[in-house]
Structure formats: structure tokens, C-alpha cells
Copies of this chain bind each other. A is one copy, B any other.
Amino acid sequence: MSVTSAQGFVAGGIASGIKPDGVADLAVVATADARAVAAAGVFTTNLACAAPVQVSRSHLANGQAAAIVLSSGNANAATGEQGRVDARRMAELTGAGLGCDATDVLVCSTGLIGYFMPMAALESGIPDLCRNLNGGTAAADAILTTDTVRKEATASVGTTTAVVGGLAKGAAMLSPAIATMLAALTTDVDVDPAVLQAALGEAVASTFNQLLVDGSMSTNDTVLVLANGASGVTVSGRAEVHALTDALTDVCGSLAEQMARDAEGATKIVRLHVRGARTAEEARRAARGVAGSQLVQCSFNGEDPYWGRILSELGASGAGFDPETVTITYNGVIACRNGIDAGTEAAALAAVMAETDIEVVCDLAAGHGEATMLFTDLSHVYIDENRGTS
């Protein structure tokens, strides 16, 4: 159940000193033999993307990588040319420590924006870590920021012996396209980089991209996967690719749900389905409008089945439908029918709202477009976490 569940991968994590309080803040995930293997990545589309994103994109251009170095506490974002120099140096130190080319190392950082990396910590920390790769769980611990629990997942590739494993961090700045987070995945299948990239893209679209905590898209979002072929299982035929995509989706889906459950201050996990939209795109717009609404999020925090706010956000989303045909249910209990109060007993809805996991279905009755989104409530704790940087 970790990023080293797939054969032929090593990982580790330590406290290098990026974080002032001696908490683990540096991780490496790599092929056991430091060999460059097929690799793929999905990155933030934020124009102000961080230096490590810029460097990783460049190092991944050939579809190959041997290692991923991940740091937490400092995002190395809004750091200009010095940031790129520092990110490349992190790759160089990792390559030297593991015995691979610097250009085969991908770099991920998460934390505060606008501060230069404390490179002294990394100059000693990366070599120390490469000498003592203490396992995938230590790596998963080392990339957390405001997360309260580590996030790991594994899945089998179809009925084969091959697996996909992964670790992730993310507890705020979560927004679709892509959810704000870092994730590093490994798999021991043998697969072409282009196929791996397509499979990862598909997995991310239906998992991390459907998660919204606060609607902010970060400067550092990254999902990476390395595939080393160590299981002897080859993925090339249509069914094999399908099985790999499913396994990647399982792992990404599990990690996304772990993020939602650990979202800053969240007390509720809402799985929202919009259906009956004219198109899938309109369903996504509508779902995003509801999930991103502070007012809707506050209602869930207060366990208030205030479907009127959901209808209002659907109406403001730009999706086309007749408000007087809309149905809204909470865990199967109908609250709104044909755009007005369904007359359901308050006690029935109150019981649903007291649960932690709430599935909301909005049927627009305008077509066949569907979309799903996972979001959380908005609480005092979220504000407290984000009021200050210290």
C-alpha cells in the first residue's frame, strides 16, 4: 500500500530543514537501479507555474525519468530565474545521489509561494536521503503540508501481477484542472511513454480534476508516474491499456478521496452529480458552480439542506435548462421537485445532513450531459489555516 508496492522502486523521506520545526520535508521516489524508464506527467495549467513545474516539464520531454524528488514547506514558486536554478540543482543533487542523469530527475515542491528555496538544507539533505532510502511510507509522510494524514494507494493492473502504487499530498487549493496537489505514482508494467501519458491523463480527468475544495488552482500541481517494466507485464493491446488506465484511476481516485477527507477544516464530503444537462460540458460548468459556491459550502457546514442555493448556483452557471423541471436529492431523499420545495419532511433531510458523506444529485431534465464533482464544506478551520503564512 505504498509508492514502492510496484516491483523495482525505492523511496524515502527525511527532515532536511526546509521546515523550521524538524518535520519531514523531503522525499525521493526512484527506480531501484536508477535506470531511466517510461514516465508521464500532468501539470498545473496556471500561467504562474512554479520553477519545479517548469523544470520537470522540460526533463520529461523525452518521456523518460529515473527519479522524482519532492519537497514540502516551500513551493519554489514566484522565484524567477533563481527558482529554476534551484530546482535544477535539486535534480542534479538527486541524480548525483542516486547515480542517474540530472535530466532524468523530476522535481516537485509544495508550500509557501514567493520564497527562495533554502538550498543549504537541500545541499546536505538530498545526498543524506539518497544514502538512506527508508521506504515509501516515509516518503508519503515527507511531502505533507497542512495535511493531517499521509495519503497512499495501490491497485492491481487487471488480473496481472503488476501494480500501480502512489502517494500524494493536498488539503487545500484544490480545484479541478487540476486539483491542487502533488502525486507520485509508480508501476511495474512495461509500457510506451505515450500510452502511459494518455492513460494518466484519462485517470486524472476523472479523479483529481473532479475534486474541488476552494477553487484555487495552484502554481505547483503535479501528477507523475514512472513505469519500469519490472513485473514483466507488458501493456500495449487495447484491453491491457484499459486495465492500466483503470488501475491508475483507482489509485488517483483513492488519493483524491483521501485529500477530500483531509481537506482543511472539512466536516462533510459531498459527491455531486449533475445529470440531464444539455451537454457534458454544461454539466461540468453547473457542477463546478455548485461545488465552488461558498454559500453552498457553508450550508453543508451547518447541515442545512438549503437546496435553493444549489438551484441558484445551477442557474448562475451558464448551463441551459428550465429551472422549473429541476430535481435535487440528498442521499436519495428528494428536496426539490420541478424547481420548488418537494415537501419532504424536515426530519428525513436532517438525518441525511447529519451524515459525513452526502451524495447530491441534480437532474436538470434538459438532456443527457453528466458530470461528477467531489467537494467539502467551508468551516472556521479553513479560514484559520489560511489567514496567515506562519
The answer to the question of A383 belonging to the interface, with a C-beta cut-off of 8 Å to chain B, is yes
A198 within 8 A of B: no
Residues of chain B within 8 A of A115, CB atoms compared: 341
Chain B hits for A229, CB < 8 A: none
Question: Is the Cβ of B321 less than 8 Å from the Cβ of A47?
Answer: yes
Q: What is the total number of residues of chain A having a CB less than 8 Å from a CB of chain B?
A: 65
A319 to B48, CA, bound (A): 11
Point out the residues of chain B lying under 8 angstroms from A48, CB to CB. 311-312, 314-316, 323, 326, 339
- Return chain B residues, CB-CB under 8 Å to A338: 80
Residues in B neighbouring A295, C-beta threshold 8 A: 172-173, 214, 216, 386
List A residues 82-133 near B (Cβ within 8 Å).
82-83, 112-115
Nearest CB in chain B to that of A296: its residue: B216
Cα A279 to Cα B132 in complex, Å, equals 53
- Main SS class of interface, A: loop
CA separation between A312 and B379, bound complex, in Å? 23
Flag whether A7 is at the interface (Cβ < 8 A).
Answer: no
Q: Which of A27-35, A136-144, A254-262, A302-310 contacts B (4 or more CB under 8 A)?
A: A302-310
The CA-CA distance from A312 to B326 in the complex, in Å, is 36
- Is A78 in contact with chain B by the CB < 8 A criterion? yes
Q: Is the CB of A78 within 8 A of B383?
A: no
